[in-house]
Structure 1
Amino acid sequence: MPLKRASRGRKKGGKGSSDRVQCSNCGATVPRDKAKKVTSRLNLVEHSLAKELRAQGAYIASPTVLKYYCISCAIHFGILKIRSADSRRQTGRLR
């Protein structure tokens, strides 16, 4: 049977089963190596106020937010793009 993707849709390699995480959008449980991880920074202070405070020498912390998305939610939010059959198979292989 031919492969649809060279990695079979996961980043696990040959390590057996992996733990599961919940999608940040829909709450589905997805294997951690299959879920798409998105890291973003959270701005706690408004931009204009932060600019003034930095000019005075203040340090403004911006914590990082880690989110995991299932494949369908990642496609919906534009994190992943739908690819052709050739490009799906080519990414994991050495040419």
Structure 2
Amino acid sequence: MTKKRSNRGRSKGGKGHSSLVQCTNCGRWVPRDKVKKVTSRLSLVDPSLAKELRASGAYIASPTVIKYYCVSCAVYYGVVKVRAEDERKSPEPLR
């Protein structure tokens, strides 16, 4: 049978099963090694006020928000791009 991707769409290697997580957008249950994980920081303070507080020496905490997307939602939101067949099968170069 033909092989579309060299890693079969997962990053688990040969370890068997992996736990499931729920997609942040649609709620689909997806294996943890297949989801697209997006980490961002959430600012709780207005930027102009934060600048003044930092100047006075205050520490401003910003919580980390982790979102998990299934492949279809990740493509829809532009987290990942659809790649051509030859780009898909070869590993991406390190940046």
Which TM-score tier does this pair reach, normalised by the shorter chain? over 0.9
- Aligned to 2:67, the other structure's residue is in SS state strand
Cα distance in 1, alignment partners of residues 74 and 29 from structure 2: 14
Which runs of at least 4 in structure 1 moved beyond 4 Å after TM superposition? none
Cα distance in 2, alignment partners of residues 83 and 27 from structure 1: 25
Q: Can you give the 5+ residue segments of structure 2 that lack an aligned partner in the other structure?
A: none
Count of aligned residue pairs for this structure pair? 92
Cα distance in 2, alignment partners of residues 72 and 48 from structure 1: 37
- Aligned to 1:65, the other structure's residue is in SS state strand
Q: Can you give the 5+ residue segments of structure 1 that lack an aligned partner in the other structure?
A: none
- Aligned to 1:58, the other structure's residue is in SS state coil
- Give CA-to-partner distance per residue, 1:15-46, whole Å, 9 cap, x none: 00100000001110000000001100010001
CA RMSD of aligned residues (A): 0.9
Shift of 1:73: 0.5
- Aligned to 1:86, the other structure's residue is in SS state helix
Scaled by the length of structure 2, the TM-score of the pair is: 0.94
Cα distance in 2, alignment partners of residues 27 and 41 from structure 1: 22
Residue of structure 2 equivalent to 1:30: 30
Q: Equivalent pairs: percent with the same residue?
A: 66
Cα distance in 1, alignment partners of residues 8 and 85 from structure 2: 13
Cα distance in 2, alignment partners of residues 43 and 25 from structure 1: 21
Cα distance in 2, alignment partners of residues 17 and 62 from structure 1: 34
